[in-house]
Structure 1
Amino acid sequence: MSLYQVQYMTIEAAQQINQWTYEEPYDLYSMSGDPDDLDELMDGTYFAVYENAQLIGYFCYGKNAQVPAGRKAGLYEETAYLDIGLGLHPELTGDGKGFSFLSSGLAFGQAEYSAGKFRLSVADFNKRAIRLYENAGFEETASFVHVNNGHEIEFLLMEKV
């Protein structure tokens, strides 16, 4: 049994997640508090993750896990992969929860979507996450540049078979 409970997103969980802010340089992953972000969190592709009834993170699957610049570059056209996005509560990052957290999201994606192959996008500067993904069996397959608030950020596309 998984250490974490992955559940359909509730409005209460979405409202909390929509307020999460990360310290630099990880602030790229911060939510804006914007109502459009709240709508996205509630669109059925996001799932809340709990540990001992405490909200600790989320997963998203499909198009919302893709970065627009990668989509524009045609990097997500291979449909055999399920795209996964994830976010751990800002206060819990770097505490050694990453591998078990990611594993629970992969297991949920496999069960919920019958996925056998996964793909994710990660900012190149996020060495901690890249190391985690490599340890979980992901391999870099491409890179692309995404412009966010006037800043160019290189992203890696990683796949796991």
Structure 2
Amino acid sequence: MQYKLENHIMTEDEKKIVCSWKYPDVYALYNLPSYEEMKEQKIGFMNPASAKNYYSFYDQDTYVGFVNILEEAEEVFIGIGTNPDCCSKGYGQQMLQIAYDISKELYPAKPLYLEVRDWNKRAVRCYEKAGFEIDGSPYELETNIGLGTFYRMIRK
């Protein structure tokens, strides 16, 4: 399904909302620390140096998610978070397409990549539908929520 998503730089109120999202079952590892804890530690979208990289997405009045577009030396990293109530409805694909368009406008010569846990088949399917391809073999990566096995996915 195609949605008419609107986006803008993430606001402080939206950061509080995202911190309150609770994912079920195996996806609970994506639950964020409290807004206060993130603000105190200056992590993720609470890091003042990276706050401008985060875009919020709406389908009319529904806050469906956000993306992080982070320029690196050779590439652009894309991170995505979807409202738990909006998962598996096609929003992720559209947010990634818009993120791709924004990235190509800002950094036209740089390919995009993202990282996804190898067990998260739902996310892998979403990313593939959005034009990303698995690049190489799975690898282990230490994150702020522990060690995991990831795929690197790219879109040129």
Q: TM-score, normalised by structure 1?
A: 0.77
Is 1:104 equivalent to 2:112 in the alignment?
no
Separation in structure 2 between the aligned mates of residue 5 and residue 112 of structure 1, nearest angstrom:
18
Query: Which of 109, 124, 138 does residue 132 from structure 2 map onto?
Result: 138
Percent identity reads: 26
Separation in structure 2 between the aligned mates of residue 97 and residue 124 of structure 1, nearest angstrom:
21
Query: Which of 144, 151, 156 does residue 156 from structure 1 map onto?
Result: 151
Shift of residue 115 of structure 1?
5.7
Paired residue type of 2:152: L
Separation in structure 1 between the aligned mates of residue 68 and residue 133 of structure 2, nearest angstrom:
20
For the aligned residue pairs, the C-alpha RMSD in angstroms reads: 2.5
* Alpha-carbon spacing, 1:79–1:149, altered in 2? closer, same or farther (3 Å): closer
Shift of residue 46 of structure 1?
1.3
Any idea what the Cα deviations from partners look like across 1:37-56, whole Å, max 9, x if unmatched? Answer: 34432422211111113321
Moved over 4 A (4+): 147-151
Separation in structure 1 between the aligned mates of residue 100 and residue 30 of structure 2, nearest angstrom:
20
User: How many residues are aligned here?
Assistant: 146
Q: Is the 8 A contact 1:59 1:87 kept in 2?
A: yes
Question: Which is further off, 27-36 or 79-88?
Answer: 27-36
Query: Which of 56, 62, 65 does residue 57 from structure 1 map onto?
Result: 65
Separation in structure 1 between the aligned mates of residue 97 and residue 16 of structure 2, nearest angstrom:
25
Unaligned runs of 5+ in 2: none
Question: Which is further off, 114-123 or 18-27?
Answer: 114-123
Separation in structure 2 between the aligned mates of residue 48 and residue 102 of structure 1, nearest angstrom:
12
Paired residue type of 1:12: D
